[in-house]
Amino acid sequence: MPAPSLSLDIKVLIGLLLFTVVWLLQIDSSSLTAPKDNLEQLTWVHSLEWGYYKHPPLPTWMFSVPVNVFGLSARTSYVTGALFTLAGLFVFWKLMQTLRGSRHATLALLAALCITYYNERLHFFNHEVVLMPFFVASALLVWRAVGSRQLHWWAALGCCLGLGALAKYQMILAAVAVFLFWLASGAWRERVHVIGLALAAAISLAIISPHLYWLFLNDFGPIRYATESSLGASLGGGARLLNTLHWLADQLFNRALLAWVLLGLVMALHRRSRLAPQDTPQRPGTADASRALILCFGLTPIVLTCAIGIFAGSSLQLHWGTPFLLLAVPVAMELAGARLQPSRISITTAIKCFVALQLALLLVAQMTSARSELRLNSRHWRNFDSKALSQALAEPAREALGGDIRVISGPTAEAKALALKLREKPLVLIDGRMDISPWISQHMVDACGVLHLQLAASPPPGHQPVGEGFPSLYWRVTPPQEDAGNCVES
């Protein structure tokens, strides 16, 4: 008997895993330190809370599982971040397979993998990365809910929206897209879908309610952080427009540029083939409904983010596109219309173009790394030499403290990058603030002493420079108090 062939789902998963291994090996071999977002999670994971001073709690909760199994390290964060990105990409493939068939889905996936959020930033582990699979899954679940007329799909959508909100409040953009599709598909005319939408809203609210209570008890810390930083920037009229245009141009013509290049190459090189016609969309059953879903989820987050920039004067952060930019790919494929017919395109040709583009990206990534003799982008954070920092500070700090380094106070990124290189693996007191560092007690500070790091243009009082290679970084210590007792972790 012939050996059973692998299902298409398994083949796609194997391809995604191979893609991940190649990129993680390149990233790990060329980076001197972990991304700042990873270092933040490596700091917060020491204490599982219902919220943190900047963000909701789900990414930190989920990160605690691999940390407890594999240990606290940069590589643990790399693999965790990559797995969430892979989950989002695989759900994206399933969504497009459901809407347009396997060939269309495969081409869309290859194009999405060319977006730089999902290749050279594959090792990032942050709230946008964790949000990504929930964001994409919400599109698939609302399609199933409207098509099946079964309430359990609406309940699943409610769980997805609630968990997504616990990853990042940006999930509200997916909720708006769900509502717009509910209107566009005519689901509002049917009683089962009115009940279903209410059920999804109730379940999502129930899931996030403990975090809402935590927000109330903690003076809405993450909300205040957002309004006091990017969201509350209150840019002027001209600055609003420029900032929004810069964000939009970066998403479409920088991050996603190679996705459009791939689609363009495939359109230019495709030949008529004998392949079977493209699969028809599943229920709700009309091409108009599937097109509405693609446009709702592909355009809504981009349009609303731009609206926030223009009308609220917020300073739009470039990485905000991470959870949803891949959904712009099927929008582009829809707009291409008859010029892009996946049923007539050779997937083999598409894969060859994809591999060529990925090799070019890998080459550029290597040329801009600290391992390259060229070091074309030596000021990039990944080239921050945390090992050299530990070699410069470890012994002087231990001597000044009279023992091991157990607490480092300072900016999260520099402090945690140093902590990971020290044998003691000290805890980080973020910016010297106990209120946002619940993993550290006052007793620990008093009994263990503190190594202070500070970024400054000139030496702060009582500080001394770290040394060559760290021109803006200074340090000092607060010795342990003699009557504070034994130095033990909180």
CA 489 to chain centre: 31
Q: pLDDT band at 284, cuts 50/70/90?
A: very low
Q: What is the mean pLDDT of residues 468-474?
A: 90
Q: What is the mean pLDDT of residues 3-25?
A: 91
What residue ranges do the domains of the chain occupy? Answer: 8-367, 385-478
Task: Look at residue 378 in the predicted model and tell me its pLDDT.
Answer: 61
Closest CA to 179 of 293, 298, 306: 293
Closest CA to 290 of 298, 192, 200, 159: 298
Task: Look at residue 64 in the predicted model and tell me its pLDDT.
Answer: 98
Q: pLDDT band at 469, cuts 50/70/90?
A: confident
Share of the chain above pLDDT 90, in %: 81
Task: Look at residue 269 in the predicted model and tell me its pLDDT.
Answer: 83
DSSP string, 51-94: --SSS-SHHHHHHHHHHHHH-SSHHHHHHHHHHHHHHHHHHHHH
Both tokens of 19, joined, read 């893609």
pTM comes to 0.93
CA distance 143 to 185: 10
Q: pLDDT band at 228, cuts 50/70/90?
A: confident
Q: Is the pLDDT of residue 282 over 60?
A: no
Task: Look at residue 281 in the predicted model and tell me its pLDDT.
Answer: 46
CB atoms within 10 A of CB 371: 13
Tell how strand 450-455 and strand 470-478 pair up: antiparallel
Write down the residue that tokens 């191979």 correspond to. 18
Residue pair 190/149 in contact (Cβ under 8 Å)? The answer is yes
Task: Look at residue 371 in the predicted model and tell me its pLDDT.
Answer: 66
Q: pLDDT band at 235, cuts 50/70/90?
A: confident
CA distance 327 to 103: 17
Task: Look at residue 343 in the predicted model and tell me its pLDDT.
Answer: 67
Task: Look at residue 274 in the predicted model and tell me its pLDDT.
Answer: 47
Least confident span in 72-76, 268-272, 378-382, 409-413: 268-272
Residue pair 402/448 in contact (Cβ under 8 Å)? The answer is no
Helix (H, G, I), strand (E, B) or coil at 450: strand
Name, in order, each residue with C-beta under 8 angstroms of 428's C-beta and a sequence gap of 6 or more: 43, 407, 408, 409, 410, 412, 415, 416, 419, 437
Task: Look at residue 176 in the predicted model and tell me its pLDDT.
Answer: 98
Q: What is the mean pLDDT of residues 67-92?
A: 98
Task: Look at residue 490 in the predicted model and tell me its pLDDT.
Answer: 59
CA distance 373 to 138: 45
Q: pLDDT band at 237, cuts 50/70/90?
A: confident
Task: Look at residue 116 in the predicted model and tell me its pLDDT.
Answer: 96
The values of phi and psi at residue 143, to 5°, are: -65, -45
Mean of the per-residue pLDDT values of the chain = 92
